[in-house]
Amino acid sequence: MNVNAICIACMAILSHGFDDPPSPEDVARAHWYKAYAVEVATLQPGTPLDDLSRFKPMIGDARVVGLGEGTHGSHEHFRAKHRLFEFLVREKGFTVLAMEANVPEASAIDEFIKGDDRAPDAPNVESLIRGMGFWIWNTEEVRDLVVWMRSYNRNCRDAPGFQRLRFAGVDMQKGAMSLGIVRDALASHDVEWFATEGAPMVERLVSYDPMGDPAAGDFGCVTATFPVEAARGRTIRFSGSIRTEGLERGFAGLWWRVDGPTPAFDNMGGRGVFGTTDWQERSIELVVPLDAKAIAFGVLMPGTGSAWFDGLSITIDGVPWKGDGFDLDFEGDSFEQLRIAGPNGDPASPAYAVGHDIAVAHSGRQSLRIQRIPSPGLDQIHSQAVASASVLHERIRSTQPTLEPALGKDGYEWLLRNARVVEQWAGMALAEGGGFAHREQCMAENLAWIGERHPNAKIALWAHNFHVRDEVPFMGSHLRRRFGKDYVNVALCSLRGSYTATALDGRGLQEFALASPPQDAFESTLQRSLTPRLIVDLRAARADDPTSAWLTESRPFGGTIGSMEMPEPFAPVKLYGHFDLLFYVEEMRAARQLAAP
């Protein structure tokens, strides 16, 4: 290593605010960053892009770039993505911004940014953004991005080789607007089969809720009573292994409740396990108040699908607790002091089956399984809705010879896509692997459709880290399969700061402090980099290279917050192989919500 490079690296690390002298590992990493990372001077959109020049070869010839975000409520993450999009437009010829927003609702934004002098003026942009129907985009940062796109189209339209910017949605969580588009187009063009067959199907779908469930809000639970004398004033840590399959509209978690003048409660709400996962270690930790009167604990699962629990353990001030008669590993023939009941001792929900599973275990010979039992008749309702949506889509496809001349090629393709969105939306309830995996696949399909409509366009995808992630079942895995090396994805993360999210206690949107990362988290190691803003090329990391091997490991990662509050967002994640680039922004602040209309 060059001596001057070592000295410069040491000075830079020390100037970054660390009291201790840099370790040899810090210096080696600093040298590696110089070769494989980009120091970002600012996150402010509209500033010169010279500092991002080394970002250009990282993108290469990619046609789709997935821009992740560590939370849906971060000012800095939104600003960083805005500036990266400006760079992609000006330096790499990107022309489409596809957002994690519903397909038809996003089309109004596209009309706005055309730059047509007759289009709505900038003050109306906020109502258009609200029209997308997701609070996460109702921010000043997204408004500024949309206004910039409109200004670009207006100011550059006379430039040689100009291609106008487009805005599109890829999501399908709502069906109402797509249904309206389908109904209006078919009714206004007097399609023969619509009055007798199509209209009744549309009307049935208008009142349909693919996430509807009579047992919504219910949950499966196993509970036990803990000796309060052993825990007063002490720190309790309750741990266990959890596995899930098709778990939607809920989560699997551990819970602990302390009753008394100073109550305490944690059920892992917002950070439980969901979807389809292999065994994961999870834990909760709290201090039991000295005035505690009673303690209950256990495991629970709201939602649909199945969850397995195994190898539960409890420590008191770090010392393992061995309670007589408590089969925390579920190896006995009965639950002994664990009971199948609600956390208040209420009768167990008949909507859930709870028992031992001898076919699945993390340790020993069996585990505990909680499984949602479908409500009587609910599957039939979902099946009929899915069938109606599929028939509607197919009939529109088969009526192309009649509809396309009347609507024009673009109009017909738009109608057909909205019919497909209705089919995607209705299909969430019965999709194999659950609605989560289905949504990921559908978003990837909708982005691919955008690419087909604009075959020469390059597309920036604006979504959460985990959506752009190249790992089954996330959207990024489908995009990698379709686009190969022409798909590049970027994860964003921060060390500290605040974010906007929906409170777990029902208080609505609130500002929350980001929890401090553990020492082995990616963010903790990146803190000792040369800059508070760094884009790291994960593809350059090597497991046999001491300076970059840590980037190839599974470590705690805080870029996991969605729209809900997460008191403990740092979960083990392997970034290497699933993300191409990692954008580290040392400090973030809550996104700035648009003022109420």
3-class secondary structure per residue, 306-326: EEEEEEEEEEECCEECCCCCC
Pair 530, 588: CB distance under 8 Å: no
pLDDT of residue 248: 80
pLDDT of residue 432: 61
User: Which residues, in sequence order, are CB contacts of 488 under 8 Å at separation 6+?
Assistant: 58, 59, 60, 62, 64, 65, 66, 580, 581
Burial class (CB in 10 A: 0-12, 13-18, 19+), 502: buried
Query: What are the sequence ranges of the domains in the chain?
Result: 1-74+517-549+556-597, 95-173+432-453, 176-213+377-427, 219-372
pLDDT of residue 350: 75
pLDDT of residue 121: 54
Both structure tokens of 199 = 């209209």
Strand partners, 155: none
Cα separation, 363 vs 367, in Å, equals 8
How would you write 319-356 as a 3-class SS string? Answer: EECCCCCCCCCCCCCCCCCCEECCCCCCCCCCCEEEEE
Q: Where are the beta strands (DSSP E) in 406-553?
A: 459-462, 487-502, 509-513, 533-537
Cα separation, 255 vs 272, in Å, equals 10
Pair 306, 243: CB distance under 8 Å: no
Closest by Cα among 79, 62, 230, 227 to 144? 79
Cα separation, 127 vs 134, in Å, equals 12
User: Which residues, in sequence order, are CB contacts of 105 under 8 Å at separation 6+?
Assistant: 131, 132, 133, 169, 174, 177
Pair 212, 272: CB distance under 8 Å: no
Full-model pTM: 0.78
Pair 362, 279: CB distance under 8 Å: yes
User: Which residues, in sequence order, are CB contacts of 169 under 8 Å at separation 6+?
Assistant: 98, 99, 100, 101, 102, 103, 104, 105, 106, 107, 132, 446
Strand partners, 294: 259
Per-residue pLDDT 10s for the chain (597 aa) are 333 333 334 334 333 444 466 788 888 898 899 999 999 999 999 999 999 999 999 999 999 999 999 999 999 999 999 999 999 999 999 999 999 999 999 999 999 999 766 555 545 899 999 999 999 999 999 999 999 999 999 999 888 989 999 999 999 999 999 999 999 999 999 888 998 889 989 988 988 888 766 556 678 888 888 999 999 999 999 999 999 998 887 889 999 999 888 888 888 876 789 888 999 999 999 899 999 999 989 999 988 889 999 999 999 999 999 876 678 888 887 665 566 665 555 566 678 888 899 999 998 899 999 998 877 677 788 888 999 999 999 999 999 999 999 999 999 999 999 999 999 999 987 776 557 889 999 999 999 999 999 999 999 999 999 999 999 999 999 999 999 999 999 999 999 999 999 987 778 899 999 999 999 999 999 998 878 999 999 999 999 999 999 999 999 999 999 998 888 888 889 999 999 999 999 999 999 999 988
Length reported for the chain: 597
pLDDT of residue 535: 98
Burial class (CB in 10 A: 0-12, 13-18, 19+), 8: middle
Cα separation, 336 vs 531, in Å, equals 56
**Residue 231 φ then ψ, to 5°:** -120, -15
Cα separation, 517 vs 494, in Å, equals 10
- Ordered alpha helix ranges (H), 189-240: 192-193, 199-206
pLDDT of residue 18: 44
Closest by Cα among 451, 452, 443, 453 to 420? 443
Residue 457: how many CB atoms within 10 A of its CB? 18
For the domain covering 219-372, report its CATH number. 2.60.120
Cα separation, 367 vs 53, in Å, equals 54
Cα separation, 512 vs 226, in Å, equals 31
Residue 124: how many CB atoms within 10 A of its CB? 11
End-to-end CA distance of the chain: 59
Q: Is 485 helix (H, G, I), strand (E, B) or coil?
A: helix
pLDDT of residue 246: 87
| CA distances to 197, 201, 389, 404 from 412, in Å | 20, 20, 17, 5
Cα separation, 422 vs 186, in Å, equals 15
pLDDT of residue 129: 96
Both structure tokens of 346 = 């209420």
In this structure, the dihedral spanned by the alpha carbons of residues 347, 353, 357 and 363, taken in order and rounded to 10 degrees, is -60
Cα separation, 465 vs 234, in Å, equals 37
